[in-house]
């Protein structure tokens, strides 16, 4: 773009394209220009090139170059920030994955610990229940034996008393 603006060719082409329109607009069509006027215009054009270049084109090109360098710098900074953001995001995702994995391992360990504790508690309760049941059975068997013994003696006493009443005498 800069090379095109520095070259006078586009301006000359534009002037050439506009000349027929100006010539058509006037009633006096002159096909051969006056040489002194043409030379004066060429000299004037050549004399206006350096001040125009110094006053218009050089500041314009300097502003365009500065704008382009600022834009390139801003784009480079944006690309660098984007890379840093991607790096931070990747680090964040890795940390989140690591934390999730650690949490999952801790959850599994806690679950396994609770299961083992539950098994131990259940086993202890079952053992205690079996011991209590066995004790109750022994007590019941002992009470039953005692009741049978008491019942035998009472039965014999009752049988003697019944026999003595039936016979009318004591045995």
What is the domain count for the chain? 1
Buried b (16+ CB within 10 A) or exposed e, 43-74: eeeeeeeeeeeeeeeeeeeeeeeeeeeeeeee
Residue 147 falls inside a structural domain:
yes
What does the pLDDT look like over 34-72, one tens digit per residue? 888 889 999 999 999 999 999 999 999 999 999 999 999
Residue 108 falls inside a structural domain:
no
Measuring CA to CA, how many Å separate 146 from each of 134, 139, 143, 170? 18, 10, 5, 28
Range of the domain at 166: 137-171
Residue 158 falls inside a structural domain:
yes
Buried b (16+ CB within 10 A) or exposed e, 25-40: eeeeeeeeeeeeeeee
Residue 157 falls inside a structural domain:
yes
Residue 145 falls inside a structural domain:
yes
Residue 83 falls inside a structural domain:
no
Q: Is residue 24 over pLDDT 70?
A: no
Question: What pLDDT does 1 receive?
Answer: 45
CA distance 93 to 87: 10
What does the pLDDT look like over 149-165, one tens digit per residue? 888 888 888 888 888 88
Write out the two tokens for 95. Answer: 């940390």
Residue 124 falls inside a structural domain:
no
CA distance 102 to 99: 5
Measured over the CA atoms of residue 29, residue 31, residue 32 and residue 36, the dihedral's sign is positive
Residue 73 falls inside a structural domain:
no
DSSP string, 87-98: HHHHHHHHHHHH
The percent of residues in the chain predicted with pLDDT above 90, rounded, is: 57
């Amino acid at each position: 773009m800069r090379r095109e603006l520095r070259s006078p060719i586009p301006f000359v082409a534009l002037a050439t394209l506009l000349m027929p329109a100006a010539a058509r607009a006037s009633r006096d069509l002159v096909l051969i220009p006056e040489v002194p006027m043409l030379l004066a215009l060429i000299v004037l054009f050549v004399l206006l090139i350096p001040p125009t270049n110094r006053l218009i084109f050089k500041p314009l090109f300097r502003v365009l170059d500065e704008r382009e360098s600022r834009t390139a710098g801003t784009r480079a900074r944006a690309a660098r920030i984007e890379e840093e953001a991607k790096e931070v995001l990747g680090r964040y995702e890795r940390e989140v994955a690591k934390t999730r994995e650690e949490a999952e391992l801790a959850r599994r360990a806690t679950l396994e610990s609770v299961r083992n504790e539950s098994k131990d508690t259940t086993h202890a309760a079952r053992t205690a229940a079996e011991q209590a049941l066995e004790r109750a059975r022994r007590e019941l068997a002992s009470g039953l034996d005692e009741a049978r013994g008491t019942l035998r003696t009472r039965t014999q006493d009752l049988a003697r008393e019944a026999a003595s009443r039936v016979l009318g005498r004591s045995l």
